[in-house]
């Protein structure tokens, strides 16, 4: 099975490749299809955006596409940044600017009010006539926002997302440790099971 991962985010792509290891799936990326149109992520939910990306990429490439939309929902901010996670700090947003804005907004919020969750929605879509159809999978992990960034790994809000069971932020975890508990890891484990059960993908 050829599977096009509908992202240009190298961090996401690496995690997805790692979590699909051992399946008889040829993982491709948008780099293999340089003319693929950009998809405007203007949906109101992670599901909307993931499905939109998967459909566009499947239609363009003629192959089954897997799209991810994910983000951070902070309790004290009524679920923000949510679908705006990647562009939270406005024009020219990057991981550092987004993290610094989040820290500033939570500056006076006590430990008890710093709860948050990471959400990942995966959408699988096949091209017209392929018979693949569509499938949407969701993964969630709860944690809290630390008072300062910690850890050299990960990407996005990982340096601020403290996972109590491990007593460290996601950025302080190694890739294998993070993948076992993360929102994306949980969603991809469900996807792996779906590929084996519903799409007749074999294990190598």
Among residues 69, 75, 95, 158, which one is catalytic? Answer: 69
The DSSP result for the chain, as a single string, is: -EEEE----HHHHHHHHHHTTTBS-EEEEGGG-TTPPP-----SSHHHHHHHHHHHHHHHHSSEEEEEEEEEEEGGGTT-BGGGGGGTT-TT--HHHHHHHHHHHTTT--GGG-EEEEEEEEEEEPPTTSS--EEEEEEEEEEEE-SS---SS--TTTTTEEETTTTEEGGGS-HHHHHHHSHHHHHHHHHHHHHHHTS-PPB-
69 a catalytic residue: yes
Q: Phi/psi zone of residue 45: left (φ > 0), alpha (ψ -120 to 50 degrees), beta?
A: beta
Tell me which residues are annotated as active site: 69
């Amino acid at each position: 099975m050829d599977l096009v991962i509908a992202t240009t985010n190298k961090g996401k792509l690496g995690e997805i490749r790692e979590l699909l290891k051992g399946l008889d799936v040829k993982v491709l990326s948008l780099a293999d299809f340089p003319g693929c149109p950009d998809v405007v992520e203007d949906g109101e939910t992670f599901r909307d955006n993931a499905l939109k990306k998967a459909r566009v990429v499947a239609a363009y490439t003629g192959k089954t596409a897997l799209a991810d939309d994910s983000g951070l929902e902070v309790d004290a901010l009524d679920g923000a940044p949510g679908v705006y996670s990647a562009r939270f700090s406005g024009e020219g947003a990057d991981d550092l600017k987004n993290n610094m804005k989040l820290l500033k907004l939570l500056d006076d919020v006590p430990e008890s009010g710093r709860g948050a969750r990471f959400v990942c929605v995966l959408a699988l879509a096949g091209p017209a006539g392929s018979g693949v159809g569509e499938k949407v999978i969701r993964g969630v992990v709860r944690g809290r926002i630390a008072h300062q960034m910690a850890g050299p790994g990960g990407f996005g809000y990982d340096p601020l997302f403290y996972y109590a069971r491990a007593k460290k932020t996601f950025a302080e975890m190694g890739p294998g440790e993070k993948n076992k508990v993360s929102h994306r890891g949980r969603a991809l484990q469900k996807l792996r099971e779906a590929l084996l059960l519903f799409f007749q993908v074999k294990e190598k």
